[in-house]
Amino acid sequence: MSSSETSSSRREFLRASGAVAAAGTVLSQMTPSAFAATPGLFASQDSTIQVALIGCGGRGTGAATNALSVENGPIKLVAMADVFPKNLEYSFKNLEKSFSENGRMDVPEDRRFIGFDAYKKAMDVLKPGDVVILTTPPAFRWVHFTYAIEKGLNVFMEKPVTVDGPATRRMLALNEQAKAKDLKVAVGLMCRHCDARKELYDRIRNGEIGDITMLRAYRMAGPTGSAAAGPKPEGMSDLMYQISKFHGFLWLSGGAVSDFLIHNIDESCWMKDDWPVEAIACGGRHYRGDSVDQNFDSYSMEYTFKDGTKLFVDGRTIPGCHQEFASYAHGTKGLGIISSASHSPAKCRIYKGHKEDEANLLWAFPQPEPNPYQLEWNHLIAAIRENKPYNEVERGCMASIVTSMGRMAAHTGQLITLDQIMNSDHEFGPNIDQLTMESDSPLMPKADGKYPIPLPGLVKNREYA
C-alpha cells in the first residue's frame, strides 16, 4: 500500500491527541496495513551485520535464531545481555549449538553482560548500522530504544512496545529521532509479515467477503507463560522476582492481555484497516490459590471502530476449559479466517456465508506457509542491506495502546476511549531507567505479600491503586 492510501481515522486521532503533540511527535500518515517509510543506515563496510541480544529469554533466543538464519549475507551475534546469568547461559548454549560451526556466533565471555546497565555494554560493542535485538519485558523498551538511537543502531524490538499512555507518547517521540537518523526499526508483530494473511488482506480489500460487519478473536488456553505467579521466594527481591515472572505484573508487560492478545487484536485491525476508538470489557479472577500476580484469568473485550463495527476479543488462561486460538472477519458476503490455531500456520480461508463448511469454501492459502517469524527478519535485514525504508514503530505503538485500551476497560469497568488512554498520566513504571540490581520495584507488595490488583467499579481512573 502506498503512503497516499491512508486511514483518516488514525490520522485524525493522532492529530487530535494533545499528548502526542506535547511529546513533539509529528506522525506520518500510515494505515495499520502499511509499513512506515524511512531510509536507514547500512551495516559495517565489510558487509557483516553484527547483532547484540538484549534480553536472553525464550523470545530473545528465538529472535536471535531467526536473525542468524537470514541468508542474504554475513551476519553474526557478538554480544548478549540480561539481568539473570542463568538466562544468558542457557541462551548462549542453545545458540552456540546451532551457529558456532558457521561462524555466526562470536560472543566470548567478556561480551556477555549481566545487570541493568548490561544493555549499554552490549550495544557499545556494535558499530552504527548494526542491529540490536530488544527482547526484555516491554517496560524497558523505551529505555533501551533511547540508547540504540544514540548509538545509531538498527533495532528489532519485541511486542508490545508500550504498556501505558506515557510510555506510548515517549516511544512515538523517540521514533522521530530514529527516523531523523535513518534507522531501520522492526517490531515483533510477525503476523504482518505472513504471506497468507497478506493475501487475505488483499482479497478483503477487493471485496471478496463484502463489507466487514464484525470481527472476532480468541486466545483461550490453559495457564500461559508466567501470567499466574505464586508467592515470591525467600531471599529474592521484589524487583527481580517480578522480572522473572514478568507476565504477572502490569508495569513490566501489561500482563496477559498486552502480551498474549496483541497479535489477535493487531491482525484483526489490519483486516479492518483501522484502529478502534473505544472499548468496554469484562474479566475476573478465578481459582487463584496463592497466586500474587495482577492478572484476571478471563477477559472479554468489545472494541468499537469509528463506523460502529465491533471487534470482540476473548482471552482466558484457565485449565480444563474450551480452547481456541484464532481470529475471524465477517462480511456481508462471507467469512474470512484470519488465523486458525496459534500464529503460524495461519491457514487463511474465505467461505461463502458464515459457516466453516467445506462446501462453502471459496479460497484457501496453499500449504505449507513460510514462517512469519523468519520472514520478519528476512525483511528487516534486506531493508538494511538494500537501504530501503523500514520503520514499524508507529504501528507497533498503535497496536500496543489499542490492546492496553481493552485491558484498562476490563480492569476499571469503564468505557475507555483511545484518546483517553493515549493521554492518561498513569505511568506504571516511572523512573525505570534508574533501576539497579538493588532497587525496590515500582510495584511493592502489601503487608500480606500480595500485590495490588484491579478493582473494577471501585478504582475507575487507573488499573490498580
CATH number where 49 lies: 3.40.50.720
Mean pLDDT, the chain, as a whole number? 91
- Look at residue 26 in the predicted model and tell me its pLDDT: 30
Residues 171 and 108 in one domain: yes
- Look at residue 449 in the predicted model and tell me its pLDDT: 82
pLDDT at 30 over 80: no
As a whole number of Å, the CA-based R_g of the chain is: 21
Tell me the backbone φ, ψ of residue 79, rounded to 5 degrees: -155, 150
Taking Cα atoms as reference points, which of 270, 22, 28 lies closest to residue 165? 22
- Torsion angle defined by CA atoms of residues 90, 93, 94 and 98, in that order, rounded to the nearest 10 degrees: 170
Q: In this structure, how many other beta carbons lie within 10 angstroms of the beta carbon of residue 291?
A: 17
Residues 186 and 201 in one domain: no
Find the domain containing 129 and state its range: 8-191+374-392
Residues 161 and 211 in one domain: no
- Look at residue 45 in the predicted model and tell me its pLDDT: 53
Read off the pLDDT of residues 194-209 as tens digits, 9 standing for 90 and up. 999 999 999 999 999 9
Buried b (16+ CB within 10 A) or exposed e, 172-205: bbbbbebbebbbbbbbbbbbbbbebbbebbebbe
* Percentage of residues of the chain with pLDDT beyond 70: 90
Residues 40 and 159 in one domain: yes
Read off the pLDDT of residues 251-284 as tens digits, 9 standing for 90 and up. 999 999 999 999 999 999 999 999 999 999 999 9
Read off the pLDDT of residues 210-246 as tens digits, 9 standing for 90 and up. 999 999 999 999 999 999 999 999 999 999 999 999 9
CA dist 227 and 268 (Å) reads 24
Listed range (154-168, 242-256, 283-297, 413-427) with the worst mean pLDDT = 283-297
Average pLDDT over residues 417-444: 96
Count H helices, E strands: the chain? 15, 15
- Long-range Cβ contact pairs of 422-426 (< 8 A, separation 24 or more): 422/13, 422/17, 422/19, 422/20, 422/165, 422/168, 422/169, 423/17, 423/18, 423/19, 423/165, 424/164, 424/165, 424/166, 424/462, 425/165, 425/166, 426/164, 426/165, 426/166, 426/461, 426/462, 426/463
Read off the pLDDT of residues 321-380 as tens digits, 9 standing for 90 and up. 999 999 999 999 999 999 999 899 999 999 999 999 999 999 999 999 999 999 999 999
Q: How far is CA 355 from CA 79, 201, 335, in A?
A: 51, 20, 7
Residues 342 and 387 in one domain: no
CATH number where 309 lies: 3.30.360.10
| Per-residue cell: 459 | 478504582
Instruction: Tell me whether residue 424 is in a domain.
Output: no
Instruction: Tell me whether residue 445 is in a domain.
Output: no
> Which residues, listed in sequence order, are joined to residue 359 by a DSSP beta bridge?
none
Residues 184 and 214 in one domain: no
| Per-residue cell: 192 | 504482518
Instruction: Tell me whether residue 63 is in a domain.
Output: yes
- Look at residue 21 in the predicted model and tell me its pLDDT: 43
Instruction: Tell me whether residue 427 is in a domain.
Output: no
Residues 349 and 385 in one domain: no
Residues 231 and 142 in one domain: no
Instruction: Tell me whether residue 423 is in a domain.
Output: no
pLDDT at 120 over 90: yes
Domain count, the chain: 2
| Per-residue cell: 448 | 500480606
DSSP secondary-structure letter at 344? S
- Cα distance from N-terminal residue to C-terminal residue, the chain: 43
- Look at residue 13 in the predicted model and tell me its pLDDT: 45
Instruction: Tell me whether residue 443 is in a domain.
Output: no
Average pLDDT over residues 182-205: 98
Q: How confident is the model at residue 288 (pLDDT cuts 50, 70, 90)?
A: confident
Taking Cα atoms as reference points, which of 199, 204, 186 lies closest to residue 369? 199
Whether residue 368 is preceded by a cis peptide bond, meaning omega within 30 degrees of 0, is yes
| Per-residue cell: 215 | 470481527
Q: What is the DSSP string of 171-239?
A: HHHHHHHHHHTT--EEES-GGGG-HHHHHHHHHHHTTTT-SEEEEEEEEEESS-TTSS--PPPTT--HH
- What does pTM read for this prediction? 0.91
pLDDT at 382 over 90: yes
Q: In this structure, how many other beta carbons lie within 10 angstroms of the beta carbon of residue 49?
A: 23
Residues 244 and 163 in one domain: no
- Look at residue 465 in the predicted model and tell me its pLDDT: 87
Report the interhelical angle of 58-68 vs 85-99 (nearest 10°): 30
Residue type, 345: P
Residues 176 and 199 in one domain: no
Q: Give the strands of the sheet with 112-114, arranged side by side.
A: 112-114, 75-82, 49-54, 131-134, 154-157, 185-187
Average pLDDT over residues 118-145: 98
Residues 345 and 223 in one domain: yes
Residue at a domain's end among 392, 425, 451 = 392
Instruction: Tell me whether residue 268 is in a domain.
Output: yes
CA dist 71 and 52 (Å) reads 18
- Look at residue 348 in the predicted model and tell me its pLDDT: 98
Read off the pLDDT of residues 78-97 as tens digits, 9 standing for 90 and up. 999 999 999 999 999 999 99
Instruction: Tell me whether residue 247 is in a domain.
Output: yes
Residues 184 and 226 in one domain: no
